[in-house]
């Protein structure tokens, strides 16, 4: 009996090291966490909606006539600050309805608080979806400082921008979970198949454990990245995630997109992510590839990852640690893709807990019977 007990404790201790999966905002309340229009007709409309719902029953709809607009949060400290103290990498689901496509759109984020902390704005925008459908964006806010834990108030503000009239629906602002990553490329010794083909004005080299990309202005592809198990990973994920560092730049803007190639065809994503252009900056970039042609098995004849970079001018980037972010499986507490005994034990071990934890499967603020039933109902899913 003692051996079994020790095994359970060891196993559960490993589970509890996973990053939380908690949802910060799901827009179920009418006040939408403070985000509101400015009562000027045609300037900015913010409203509760049922379009683009990815958690709960409601999303937040936003319409504006193009250009830049701020959405200011409600300032309730304990509604957001405890989550950001765990991680400042967030995921947010964005839906564009049919007929509201735009040429470009992006978002920046600012944290705000009382004097002494003030306004802290992320200088690098994140691409918003531009075509119809639901895509997940990654907000890397690691560069923004946080106030003291007992600060009187705290806002999470969203700055939205588009080249023409746009309409989006936001839902499920949540913590990014490292436990959901499947590592594909680490560049410990070589470029693992990535090449530039016969393109000019771009070069590619292995440099100190990273993939260094040097390019002139314009659009260029990196072709042919291969890794063991890549097909199985992309079939179970939604996002290609990588770290990028700016080594040299004469560019005012830059962005990236991804394609997956296999016998099923060339699957090119319609989502474009903004990347930094300020020398010395490192950011994590995520590219949602939902809707593209994927391999029809885990072991196709071939499967390659291709990344395109576009910039206004000269740019040198170091790319590292390319991973696939696993698609959520309901009831999968530890995010290994399989709902099994480990997930059940995690919920039982934390039963009654009101802390921020992935064992709170339904994100209602407490680990209870509802979470246990969710795991049991989905037992075996993804396995």
Do 84 and 199 sit in the same domain of this protein? no
Distance between CA atoms of 94 and 214, rounded to whole angstroms? 32
Whether the CA torsion 355, 359, 365, 369 is positive or negative: it is: negative
Do 308 and 373 sit in the same domain of this protein? no
Do 170 and 200 sit in the same domain of this protein? no
Smallest CA-to-CA distance from 307 within 236, 209, 215, 235 is with 215
Mean pLDDT on 23-31: 92
Q: Answer with the one of 109, 144, 176 that is the final residue of a domain.
A: 176
Do 79 and 202 sit in the same domain of this protein? no
Does the structure show a pLDDT above 80 at 18? no
Do 59 and 137 sit in the same domain of this protein? yes
Q: Quote the pLDDT of residue 13.
A: 39
Q: Quote the pLDDT of residue 44.
A: 92
- Confirm whether 383 is domain-assigned: no
- Confirm whether 331 is domain-assigned: no
Mean pLDDT on 7-16: 39
- Confirm whether 79 is domain-assigned: yes
Does the structure show a pLDDT above 70 at 297? yes
Distance between CA atoms of 27 and 173, rounded to whole angstroms? 9
Do 126 and 192 sit in the same domain of this protein? no
- Confirm whether 124 is domain-assigned: yes
Q: Answer with the one of 122, 152, 176 that is the final residue of a domain.
A: 176
CATH code of the domain covering residue 359: 1.10.1330
Mean pLDDT on 359-374: 90
**What is the number of domains present in the chain?**
3
Per-residue pLDDT tens for 173-216?
A: 999 999 999 999 999 999 999 999 999 999 999 999 999 999 99
Do 211 and 89 sit in the same domain of this protein? no
Per-residue pLDDT tens for 245-259?
A: 999 999 999 999 999
Mean pLDDT on 350-358: 90
Q: Quote the pLDDT of residue 5.
A: 37
- Confirm whether 382 is domain-assigned: no
Do 307 and 350 sit in the same domain of this protein? no
Do 194 and 300 sit in the same domain of this protein? yes
Q: Answer with the one of 286, 302, 326 that is the final residue of a domain.
A: 326
Q: Quote the pLDDT of residue 168.
A: 97
Q: Quote the pLDDT of residue 123.
A: 86
**Confidence bin at 362 (pLDDT 50/70/90):** confident
Do 206 and 191 sit in the same domain of this protein? yes
Q: Quote the pLDDT of residue 12.
A: 40
Do 116 and 185 sit in the same domain of this protein? no
Does the structure show a pLDDT above 80 at 37? yes
User: In which element (H, E) is residue 223 found?
Assistant: strand 218-225
CATH code of the domain covering residue 248: 2.60.120.260
Do 31 and 97 sit in the same domain of this protein? yes
Q: Quote the pLDDT of residue 21.
A: 56
Which is more confidently placed, 41 or 5? 41
Q: Quote the pLDDT of residue 9.
A: 39
Pairing of strands 105-112, 155-162: antiparallel
Q: Quote the pLDDT of residue 160.
A: 96
Does the structure show a pLDDT above 50 at 372? yes
Cβ within 8 Å of residue 138, ≥6 positions away: 89, 90, 91, 126, 176, 239, 241, 273, 284, 285, 286
- Confirm whether 72 is domain-assigned: yes
Which is more confidently placed, 284 or 382? 284
- Domain range for 142 is 23-176
Q: In this structure, what token pair is assigned to residue 275?
A: 């990347």
Q: Quote the pLDDT of residue 17.
A: 36
**Confidence bin at 16 (pLDDT 50/70/90):** very low
Per-residue pLDDT tens for 128-166?
A: 999 999 999 999 999 999 999 999 999 999 999 999 999
Q: In this structure, what token pair is assigned to residue 20?
A: 């939380």
């Amino acid at each position: 009996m003692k051996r079994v007990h020790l095994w359970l404790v060891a196993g559960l201790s490993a589970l509890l090291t996973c990053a939380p999966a908690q949802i910060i905002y799901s827009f179920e309340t009418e006040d939408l966490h403070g985000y509101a229009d400015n009562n000027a007709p045609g300037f900015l409309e913010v409203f509760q909606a049922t379009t683009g719902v990815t958690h709960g029953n409601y999303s937040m709809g936003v319409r504006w006539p193009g250009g830049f607009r701020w959405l200011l949060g409600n300032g309730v400290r304990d509604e957001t600050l405890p989550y950001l103290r765990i991680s400042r990498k967030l995921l947010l689901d964005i839906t564009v309805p049919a007929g509201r496509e735009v040429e470009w759109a992006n978002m920046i984020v600012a944290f705000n608080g009382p004097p002494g902390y003030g306004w802290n704005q992320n200088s690098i925008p994140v691409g918003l979806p531009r075509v119809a459908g639901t895509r997940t964006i990654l907000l890397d806010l690691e560069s923004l400082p946080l106030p003291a834990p007992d600060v009187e108030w705290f806002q999470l503000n969203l700055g939205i921008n588009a080249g023409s009239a746009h309409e989006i629906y936001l839902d499920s602002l949540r913590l990014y979970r490292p436990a959901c990553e499947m590592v594909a490329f680490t560049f410990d010794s070589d470029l693992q198949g990535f090449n530039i083909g016969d393109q000019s004005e771009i070069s590619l080299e292995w440099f100190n454990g990273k993939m260094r990309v040097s390019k002139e202005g314009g659009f260029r592809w990196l072709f042919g990245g291969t890794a063991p198990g890549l097909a199985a990973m992309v079939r179970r994920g939604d996002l290609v995630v990588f770290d990028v560092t700016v080594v040299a730049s004469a560019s005012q803007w830059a962005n990236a997109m991804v394609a997956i190639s296999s016998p099923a065809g060339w699957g090119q994503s319609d989502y474009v992510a903004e990347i930094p252009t300020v020398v010395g900056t490192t950011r994590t970039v995520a590219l949602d590839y939902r809707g593209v042609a994927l391999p029809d098995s885990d072991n196709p004849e071939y499967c390659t990852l291709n990344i395109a970079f576009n910039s206004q001018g000269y740019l040198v980037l170091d790319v590292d640690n390319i991973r696939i972010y696993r698609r959520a499986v309901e009831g999968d507490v530890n995010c290994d893709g399989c709902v099994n005994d480990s997930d059940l034990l995690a919920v039982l071990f934390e039963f009654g807990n009101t802390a921020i934890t992935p064992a709170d499967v339904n994100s209602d603020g407490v680990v209870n019977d509802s979470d246990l039933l969710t795991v049991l109902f989905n037992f075996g899913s993804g396995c």
